Structure 1
Amino acid sequence: MERSGIPQAILKGVIAIFMIAFLTSIVFAFLLKFTTIAEDSLQWIITALSFIAFFIGGFISGKSGGEKGWLLGGATALLFSCLVFLLQFLGYDEQFSLLQLLYHGGFLVAACFGGIIGVNIATNKT
């Protein structure tokens, strides 16, 4: 694989994570607005969907990159986490809490696994 494909693969994964997060946010916003569901009852579902989104983002970056899926998935998660940190720090003047660091560590692991599986599925077509 050529070196110019690595940033494109990572960018595809980050875009996928943002798209999934945006779409699920819209769905849950409508659920919370038009039903009697409480926000607290959806906490674990939203957390699980977040891990799935990172897995899919890592999968897409690994499949697009074709090699070193753990590295592509990890870079995808790290880029997303850096963007979230910059938004939170520069926009809201807040730092990551310990709980957020744990979540983003889990997101990193999920994206790495997604990248590994994405590379293996991409290379098993022969």
Structure 2
Amino acid sequence: MESEVVDSKFLESMAKRRPFMKRMFTVFISQEPKRIQDIRNALNDRDQERLRHLVHSLKGGAATIGVERVRACCLEMENASKAGDLEKAAELMDKLELEIRRAYAFMFKYLAEH
């Protein structure tokens, strides 16, 4: 079974802290598009160390707010960059961009409804 865009257990755990979660979603939406572009630039520049650092940072942010599929994709990209397999990392970029768009859509909808 494919995991949820945002982990339902995370959402339940944050139910009583909705204003805090809304702030976290807002920060994620406002900051991560630049990091996604930076990741793409690192791939294009074949900057393995910068790529590893950027996807590691995004992985942590995604894990913090329950965006599991983004986190998992970042982990795969981080492992590929550690192994020096930039072709594999590049293949994963489209998947990462798809999952991040799904996360943004979920967050925008959540913010509109709460």
Structure with max Cα Rg: 1
* Same fold (TM > 0.5): no
Tell me the TM-score normalised to structure 2 length.
0.40
